[in-house]
Structure 1
Amino acid sequence: MKKIAIGMLGAAFIFGAGTYTLAQGTEDGLLNFKQMKPYMEKMHPTFSEEELKDMYMACHGEDGMMV
């Protein structure tokens, strides 16, 4: 019984720490177009900067959060 309880507490701690780390993302917790541009260019090499910016704004808006 102790092993199950310790295992569950350990798993909860690991998942909690992973969630916290993922949520921190960047210094202010938000991504912006300048940070995402290299990745977007790699995924969409034929898009112009204007098209990339439009796509970013459609997905993330002004604050970098998903809408």
Structure 2
Amino acid sequence: MSLLSAGGIGNYATSAAAIQRSDLAFKYEYLSTVVAQYAKSGPEIMIKNNWLEQPPGIVGKENLAKNKNG
């Protein structure tokens, strides 16, 4: 999913760089932000529905020290 989103954003960026009309360039930039928001919410929805595991997080030093001694 992220590969497709990155490809879409890349296509919009290429189009915005090549287009001569400023109104279309602004629309491409807007669509790039929409695709980026969609790409961000995709994994969050998948984690919520247990379709994807949540990536490992950072363990606090205090908790790590307590578990090591106990």
| Coarse TM-score class (shorter-chain normalised) | 0.3 to 0.5
TM-score (norm 2): 0.43
Please state which structure has a larger fraction of its residues in helix.
2
TM-score (norm 1): 0.45
Structure of greater Rg: 2
